[in-house]
Each structure stands twice: as structure tokens, then as C-alpha cells.
Amino acid sequence: MKCIRCGHDSNYPQRSNRTCPKCQGKFAFEPREGDPISDAGFEQAIRTVSSDGSIAFLEDHLYYDVCRRKARKATSIVVLIILGAIIAGITAFATAKGHPHLIVIAVIPLAILAIGLLSRVRARYLSLTPTAFELLLQRWCDTHGRPERLIRSPMLAETAPQLETDIADYSFDRAVICDRPDTVDFLIANQFHFENNCAVLTVDGYPSGPFKLIRGMLQQNPELQVVTLHDCTPEGCALAHRIATDPEWFGGRKLRILDLGLRPDQAMAFSGSFSAAIPAEEMQPPAIRPHEAKWLNDFSLGLAVIRPEAMLKRVFQAINRNAAQPSTEATAEAAGASAPMPWIIPLGGGGSGSGNDSVVEFDQQSLMQDKVRDGDDLIDGLGVDSFG
């Protein structure tokens, strides 16, 4: 195992007491003693989610990336074990029958088949519990220090009064409404609000200082573009419908809200990163469709499963595409019948044909897969292993 300080490669007996024999630096983890990752692996996860230190990230981003690495390692071990068993069985059979040439003929296609099938096998749930990850992160911080771009959340608790003083001088053309303070912190820490002239709030009042002022400003803008961004949970999936119907938000106004996700249809691509379902009293249309409710009764998935750089890029693209395509009907006519259409919820009292209707649109494309080369693996830009 290599020391990330000096690069020295030592074997297990040489690094007694988790100490590098060359530079005497401490190791945070020891895979030979049951740790699910090495120091080099954890460091690479930090570099990945921070895009080599250029992007601020949440603990949850790092959590999902560490889980992905652990799952890939476990799958590789299973492939080797089963492949070894297949080869041993064929060898024994061919030797007993006196046909050793059968070994080569049979092993090669079976090995290819086994690797192809097992590369698609993933457990549905995360490979580490949040508690186990917290312990790993604490050991990393104790040994190597806190990662530089790791966001301390809630980030805006102390600066909110100053924000309230300054914000009155601004106007917002766009708003991103989130279900969690962490998502707000992530976007603001990466200057998303500044670069896109965009208000970023949670539905329940974060950041608390300027919240009412900003929401009031948004309500007074008839040209406002609204986007929702949320976890794949019952509460998250109902977010767009909630702000479109709640009088304290945009209820009663002619409004177009773009729901970027995550929703269950998008979550399917992230099998292996699911968590247990979050109980909900009810999940009813039009906020949540029946097939979505079925998935949400079994699973949940955090928005942080999408890597930070991909998230910032995709939300930026979606907001600007939304600004260029203000009319759903015009978009459909321009795209043609073969283009994927958004799911549309009419919310006004006049029915779907009324000019006073509000509309919630689900953007099915922006948070889906975008494959890029990542080392020796073909990894989707969102953090999804590509299976084919």
C-alpha cells in the first residue's frame, strides 16, 4: 500500500501501527484490518468530487463516491471467485475425460460470459451505512486534516443578517427551490447564484435571515423562471407541486415550474446507491404518479449521488435551456413528434386548456447520463457506472 505523503509502497508487516516505514506518517486506514478503503482510495474520492480541488462539495458527495469505489471492488472480487470456480470445474472435468483441449475451448467463452454478466450485477443499496462513513471521514480528518473544499453546513447561518442587508439591491430572474439546506449551501458555495442571477432557497425557509425578503421579491416578478431540485423522496418529489399550489409561494399565479429531479425514473440509473424508503403519510397524483409511489415505498436516493461538477453543469444548462424555451407547446412543435416530451401537470382551476393554468414540467433529460472517460472505467459524468 502506498503512502500518499511520500509515495513509498510498503507491505503489511512493514507498516506496523499504521505508520509509513519511510516518512513515519500515519495511515488513516488499513484494508488488511477490515477498512473498506485505503488512504489513496479516499484521497482519490476527494479529488474526484472536488474536481481536483476546484469545486466545493458536501459530505454526501464524498459518501456516495466512497460507496461506489467499495462496490466496484467487491464486484471485482466476486467475478474472480466465480471465474476461478468455473475454470477449476472445467479443468477437472476435461482432465477426467482425457480431453485437455476442452479447457481452452470452454474456458474462454465462459470467462467472457461470466465477466459480462457479473459486471452488471450490483446490490441495490449503498455498500456503507452513513454511520460507518462518518467514522471513516473522522479518521481521515484526524490523520490528514479536513478536506479543503468540504462544505461546513449549514454554511449561511452566521452570514444571513449581512445577506439580508445586501440582497435588497438585487433582482432575480431565476429561482432554484430545494428541499434541503445542504443543496442550497452547495450551490451558493460554488457561486451558482452569482453566475446565474439566481435566488437559491429551500421550501421551508433557509437561509432564514433573507428568506422572507427574497421570497417576496420572487413573488413580485411575473417573468420569474422557477426550477426545483431535490432528493428522490416523497417530500422531494412533491416539491414542485407544493410551491405551485401553496399561497405562501406561488399558489394562484400563472406559473411555469421546471422540476429537474431527482425522481424515480431518473433514479433507476443509480442502482447500487439506493437507501431505505422514507415513510410518508400519502403519495397522491398529480404530485407523485402511481409508479413513482411504488418505487418510493421501497427506496430513496439523495441528490448528492450526482457528482458536483456534473450537477453544476447540468443545472446551469437546464436553466438556460428553460429561458430559451418558455413555451411547452412551442418547444414541442420545434422539436417534432419524436422528441422526448416533459411530463406536464396542469394546476389551475380551469382545466388543462385554460390560459390561467399553472404548469409543472418534469425535465426528463438534464440529470440523466452523460458518459465520459474516467481512468480505466467508463464512468458517467453523474457518477454512474456504465454497464454497456
Residue ranges per structural domain of the chain: 1-35, 48-150, 160-373
Contact between 256 and 358 (Cβ < 8 Å): yes
22 in the Ramachandran plot: left (φ > 0), alpha (ψ -120 to 50) or beta?
Answer: alpha
CATH of 160-373, one of 3.40.1360, 3.20.20, 2.40.128, 3.40.50: 3.40.1360
Q: In angstroms, rounded to a whole number, what is the distance separating the alpha carbons of residues 89 and 107?
A: 10
Q: Which of 85-94, 295-304, 327-336 has the highest mean pLDDT?
A: 295-304
- The pLDDT tens digits of the residues spanning 165-175 come to 566 667 788 99
Instruction: Dig out the grid coordinates for 183 from the structure.
Output: 443543496
Looking at residue 5, what is its pLDDT? 94
Q: How is residue 150 annotated by DSSP?
A: B
Contact between 151 and 35 (Cβ < 8 Å): no
Residue 252, Cβ density class (10 Å: 0-12 exposed, 13-18 middle, ≥19 buried): middle
Residue 227 pLDDT > 60, yes or no?
yes
* Confidence tier at 372 by pLDDT (50, 70, 90): very low
Looking at residue 106, what is its pLDDT? 60
In 3-state terms, what secondary structure has residue 9? strand
Give bridge partners of residue 9 from the DSSP assignment.
Answer: 2
- The pLDDT tens digits of the residues spanning 246-276 come to 999 998 888 789 999 899 999 988 988 999 9
**Dihedrals phi, psi of 273, to nearest 5 degrees:** -120, 10
Q: Where are the alpha helices (DSSP H) in the chain?
A: 39-49, 59-97, 101-118, 130-144, 160-167, 181-189, 192-195, 211-219, 234-237, 239-245, 264-267, 290-296, 308-324, 328-335
Determine what percent of the chain is predicted with pLDDT higher than 90. 49
Amino acid sitting at position 216: G
Q: In angstroms, rounded to a whole number, what is the distance separating the alpha carbons of residues 364 and 318?
A: 11
Q: In angstroms, rounded to a whole number, what is the distance separating the alpha carbons of residues 81 and 90?
A: 14
Other CB atoms within 10 A of residue 105 CB? 12
Q: What is the mean pLDDT of residues 364-386?
A: 52
Residue 221, Cβ density class (10 Å: 0-12 exposed, 13-18 middle, ≥19 buried): middle
Instruction: Dig out the grid coordinates for 250 from the structure.
Output: 406561488
Helices (H) and strands (E) in the chain, counts: 14, 10
Of residues 376 and 29, more confidence is placed in: 29
Instruction: Please tell me the least confidently modeled range out of 85-89, 210-214, 317-321.
Output: 85-89
Of residues 4 and 162, more confidence is placed in: 4
